[in-house]
A and B are shown apart, each in its own frame.
Chain A
């Protein structure tokens, strides 16, 4: 049953990874505006491709 130590270690590391990902998303402002993208996605792209988006 010593595998439990390893498994718990893995699960905690995995969870820490997700926590870190959340912190990164929060700090880089991904959660600042949760509404506008829902409208933006409905707008069609122009036919001619513009380079900077």
Chain B
């Protein structure tokens, strides 16, 4: 029976999932669920079936969702979400995580065919954003979202990261600066060629002309493009910090002044070409360093996890209110799959709450009326009513964000290597420059010439470029391996760590694939009976049993009864089937591990049980066996996996039942003992620890989903590559050091010319691009080579 079921496996026309029943057929096409079928019907009704011709199964499964967008009709909430609105039209940008193929793009840009109230819709594929312009007299915001929901593209609406407009504007300014710098650089190079090849005496008027034009081109280059360097050098000086911007700004200033002086007094051609090239290359380095991941956010906190609004009962009627207005005493209504946004007392209903994201508890917890339910849990059963006892910002979970760690910008982190080096570099440079000046002193002209030449030649262009170019190559390689870093400084932090702390649930275990094991023998008939009973239940364990049994035929079920926290009893095809906990099957034994075993009984015969173990991510053992690192497990869950985990971590390094605050404190303690800590976590309860640690990595199975604020996001698939990442980041730091050495050699060669005071513009103009090109080539080749060695390419 089971074999034929696998052979005849049919897939849903819409989403490609397996069809378990033949109940959903339209136009001779099979669907796995009602949701998928209704999406098809909507599209077919508007003759948009081309959707299915671009890709096979383009849809996402539409199984377990409910539509609840009432809150969008509230004008204050809608006002916060809309980009623009006037009397006629409204503009909004949605983040739609499901966008993944050309069919999505095609369909979402045809929204005006589904509803004429929508004027226009445009997809940004990489950012997974959809911009919609609509007439709000014809179709309200709520209707737009419901339409999107109906066709299977539910937008993710949260107040925090709706659209990230800010990041774009800064980048676009830099691009404009690069354009201007490139324009000046190109023209100046062209006009400098006659000088390089030599001009005859008869052409002296041209020489002046070229000089003036070059000077003209350097003005926007210095005062527009390079202004940021002067600005930051000045700020750093005021704070008594010697940053690499200082010698750069000094070099640029000296170049400009000397060029202007030489051109205006007709004494020489100046260094306009070097100056413009320098500014152009520096800005290019800055641009490359800014790696932006469109679809990933590193700054999320509880606000993007929590809903925008919540339903409350007021004066006997249900109405939505924005989360910010929720206060103590409000009576909330929470439905299946919704998140409880504030600490509350359960008043009515059957609560089965999944706290895995908040506390790390792997199994959903039953709550009975009168008990406190902490914010952040997800309701897995039906409708419940709760009374808020603490406002959103004061709850057990969210008060973590009131901690000092979140208030201060974390600037006390490890100084990067380049910061350390440039301090000494700047001091030595100034000593040499003034030394040269005094050495030539009786002759003031020569002294000034030599002094400025030193500053020009030693301008650490290659030095400033080596880090961005290396790091951007490294970020690209990490990116390919599904490891996304917030910025380039994280690479160095990763190289420096010596202790690794891991969360359990969701981090080293995978969210869904729990190991399910059947202890006992079941005949095919018995399996069918159990499947038929379990398929009626929404409990996560019942679903896992159904998946495990993988059957399609259901037997008729009568007298079905599900007792929360205990199990199911039903009469299936005349047999009495009982599936449930110790308590239900054996009477009132006090089992300490509720939910980890499900016992089976048919017609009074005990048949065995299902046990649920966790499935640990691949490569966990290899990571733990890395020499030279300290490993700790920090879990908010109970210790019922103690023995399994003790084999991996060793019994001294495991800490269970940790609250979010305790996690943060544990990291702090390790740091006070002199460790550089890497924290791996996935849930909101790890947020404090992720923030406190020297580098916090959020592990997630889907990078588009919520992940807590962190320095880096690691896709669960690449978890086993972690040792490779750490080793590679160490290699990277070495590459940066080597490239520093190379650029120093160039500087020394240049200085030997400069100290004599006879630096020709040609030497300076040649030396700078050559050193830059050498550095870029070296870092690119070296990172490529080492990433091969670490098997990351």
| Interface positions of A (Cβ within 8 A of B) | 1, 4-5, 8, 12, 15-16, 19, 22-23, 26, 31-33, 35-36, 39-40, 42-44, 50, 52
Contact = CB atoms under 8 A, between A and B. Distances in A.
Given A15-B187, A42-B102, A52-B119, A36 B124 contact: yes
B209 interface: yes
A39 to B, nearest CB: 5
B175 A26 contact: yes
Contact of A5 (B109, B120, B124, B209): B209
Interface string B172-183: 100110011001
A36 B119 contact: no
23 contacts: A1-B203, A8-B191, A8-B213, A12-B213, A15-B186, A16-B183, A19-B180, A19-B183, A26-B179, A31-B175, A32-B124, A32-B168, A33-B124, A33-B126, A35-B125, A35-B126, A36-B123, A39-B102, A39-B105, A43-B102, A43-B105, A52-B119, A52-B120
Contacts of A35: 125-126
Contacts of A44: 50
Contacts of B125: 33, 35-36, 39
A36 B122 CA distance: 10
Contacts of A50: 113
Interface string B101-130: 010011001001100000110011111000
Nearest to B53: A44
Contacts of A43: 54, 102, 105-106
A22 B106 CA distance: 29
Given A12-B187, A52-B120, A36 B180 contact: no
B293 interface: no
B606 interface: no
Chain B: number of interface residues, binned into ranges: 20 to 34
Residue in A19, A36, A42 whose Cβ sees the most chain B Cβ within 10 Å: A36
A31 B125 CA distance: 14
Contacts of B191: 8
A40 B400 CA distance: 45
Nearest to A18: B183
B227 interface: no
Given A23-B179, A40-B109, 19 more contacts: A5-B209, A8-B209, A8-B213, A12-B187, A15-B187, A16-B183, A19-B180, A23-B176, A26-B175, A26-B179, A32-B124, A33-B125, A36-B125, A39-B102, A40-B105, A42-B102, A43-B54, A43-B102, A44-B50
Contacts of B126: 33, 35-36
B206 interface: yes
Nearest to A39: B102
A40 B104 CA distance: 11
A16 B213 CA distance: 14
A26 B176 contact: yes
Contacts of B50: 44
Contacts of A31: 175
Contacts of A36: 105, 123-126
A35 B186 CA distance: 29
A33 B129 CA distance: 11
Contacts of A5: 209
Nearest to A38: B125
Contacts of B109: 40
Interface in B186-238: 186-187, 191, 203, 206, 209, 213
Contacts of A26: 172, 175-176, 179
Nearest to A19: B183
Which residue among B125, B126, B203 has the maximum number of chain A CB atoms within 10 Å of its CB? Answer: B125
A12 B473 CA distance: 35
Contact of B179 (A12, A22, A42, A52): A22
Contacts of B127: 33
Interface string B601-631: 0000000000000000000000000000000
Contacts of A15: 183, 186-187
